[in-house]
Structure 1
């Protein structure tokens, strides 16, 4: 496992998120969050092993536009060095479409879920994206 500077990993995670947003090319509002550092649960808690996670969503866009964005992403990810490891349904109550992909070299993973508008809770359509870095030891 690599030892890395967490600020650099955080910046790389946010840059990767921006690239995913470019590939989606959906005109709507984007939540403004930054990457967050969290412990990697896959490792012994005595080790200081972390990952960066950058969750964000696109809202105030039509479901049809979001669907087109997911189709673009499905086509563009492999061209951009990503391997799609899951392309199906997320198994939630809404059974939303989901794409999970890993970057070449597995430095990053992305989880994309497309949620229809729901009358329960009056939820609008939402395109949910989470980009995560590989686990690393902090310098």
Structure 2
């Protein structure tokens, strides 16, 4: 994402774009399970003085068999590039559980997404889940006329 020159956008316009990008990812996952989400929220963008923000949209999908979730990760590996996303990491995260992780940036770098598959069975816990964290690029709020 280009940190040097944030685009000017209204907070509402950015939030709607964030929701659309998140829905696109959910569509690629293509599983019917339970969603845990808070909806996108706006936060200051670090490295800038006031008036520069980004949207952050974390959510997770659970109550789906783990094998179906593994297949969904494979669908993401194929589907994200077809939808204009560039996968910049496909491997395991740095946690002790070494969760499978895909990190991708959207075409134009308006968004970055971090997707992880948490297999809770090895800890005797349930449910396992796919964790998605979507962030928008930094943007400046529109100046009033």
Range class of TM-score, shorter chain: over 0.9
TM-score (norm 2): 0.89
Out of 22, 26, 30, the residue aligned to residue 31 of structure 2 is 26
Match of 1:96 in 2: 99
1:57-110: CA deviation from partner (whole Å, max 9, x where unpaired): 001011101010010011000110010000011111211000000001000111
Alpha carbons of structure 1 residues 85 and 119: separation in structure 2 relative to 1, 3 Å: closer
Describe the SS at the equivalent of 2:120.
coil
Match of 1:54 among 42, 52, 57: 57
Distance 2:122 2:92 in 1: 20
Q: Report the Cα distance in structure 1 between the residues aligned to 2:80 and 2:71, rounded to whole angstroms.
A: 14
Query: Is 1:16 paired with 2:28?
Result: no
Aligned length: 137
Q: How high is the TM-score relative to the length of structure 1?
A: 0.93
Which runs of 4 or more aligned residues in structure 1 lie more than 6 Å from their structure 2 counterparts after TM superposition?
A: none
Structure 2 unmatched ranges of 5 or more: 1-5
Give 1:4's aligned residue. 9
Structure 1 residue runs without a partner (length 5+): none
Alignment of 1:113 onto 2:116 = yes
**Contact 2:44–2:50 (CA<8 Å) still a contact in 1?**
no
